[in-house]
Amino acid sequence: MVLNQATLKRDGVQDYVSLRATALIIAAYAVFIVGYLALTPELTYEAWSGLFDNLAMKAATIITLICIMVHTRIGLWQVLTDYVKCSTMRSVLGFVLNLMALAYVAVGLFVLWGV
């Protein structure tokens, strides 16, 4: 039983809800992109660029990138705590993999706003 609710640590319910919410957002974005690819008769650079010139699409992409990072962080934490027993190795792997997830979002932002 949790006695101190003022801590900044997560709990299982928050992780569960976060995973499900981010998965729904990622799935909705993927369905939209697949639908766009399927319904666009001739996919050219101009069509693709026009899609991502829209501010709503840029916002949806940023939100999805952040959701991918949150989803990855929680999943990595769960997998690493279950399968890597050495705390030093778990910390190093967690740091490197979380840094890679952050770099993924940073590169996505540069690509998205660099157009």
Which residue ranges make up the annotated binding site for a ubiquinone?
Answer: 83
Q: What's the one-letter identity of residue 14?
A: Q
Residue numbers in the known binding site for heme are 71
Cβ neighbourhood burial of 45 (10 Å; 0-12, 13-18, 19+)? exposed
Residue numbers in the known binding site are 71, 83
